[in-house]
Amino acid sequence: MRRRPPSDAQQGDGSGDARQGDGSGDARQGDGSGDARPDQAGWRYVSDAAALDELLDELDGVDEYAIDTEFHRERTYFPRLALVQIGWKGGVALVDPLAVDVGPLRRLLVSGATAVLHAADQDIEVLEQACGAVPTEIFDTQISAGFLGYSSPSLVSLIEHVLSLRLQKADQLTDWTRRPLSTAQQAYAAGDVLHLLELKVHLTSRLEALGRLEWAAEECAILLRRDHTPTEPARAWWRLPHSRQLRGASRGVAQEVAAWRERRARQLDLPVRFVLSDLTVMAVAQRPPSSREELLRARGVDGRHLSGAAPEELLAAIERGRKLSPPELDIPPRHPLERLNRPVIALASAYAGQLARELELDPAILATRADLVAFFQDRRSGRLVSGWRYQLIGESLERLAAGDAALAFDGEDNLVLEERSRRPL
Annotate 263-272 with b (16+ C-beta within 10 A) or e (fewer): bbbbeeebeb
pLDDT in tens, 68-83: 999 999 999 999 999 9
Give the model's pLDDT for residue 39. Answer: 43
> Running DSSP on this structure, what letter comes out for residue 245?
G
Lowest mean pLDDT among 48-57, 250-259, 286-295: 286-295
Give the model's pLDDT for residue 42. Answer: 86
Give the model's pLDDT for residue 302. Answer: 73
Give the model's pLDDT for residue 172. Answer: 65
pLDDT in tens, 317-326: 999 999 999 9
333 has pLDDT over 70? yes
- Locate CATH 1.10.150.80 in the chain: 233-328, 336-419
Domain 336-419 fold is DNA polymerase; domain 1 (1.10.150)
23 has pLDDT over 80? no
Mean pLDDT within 181-198: 94
Nearest to 259 by CA among 241, 275, 279: 275
CA distances (Å), origin 161, targets 125, 153, 195, 202, 242: 28, 10, 13, 11, 43
Annotate 189-219 with b (16+ C-beta within 10 A) or e (fewer): bbbbbbbbbbbbebbeeebeeeebbebbbbb
pLDDT in tens, 364-407: 999 999 999 889 887 788 999 999 999 999 999 999 888 888 88
Give the model's pLDDT for residue 420. Answer: 84
- Locate CATH 3.30.420.10 in the chain: 28-225
Please check whether the domain covering 233-328 is classified as CATH 1.10.150.80: yes
Lowest mean pLDDT among 107-116, 172-181, 225-234, 295-304: 295-304
Nearest to 21 by CA among 41, 45, 6, 42: 42
CATH code of the domain made up of 28-225: 3.30.420.10
CA distances (Å), origin 245, targets 69, 141, 248, 396: 40, 41, 10, 37
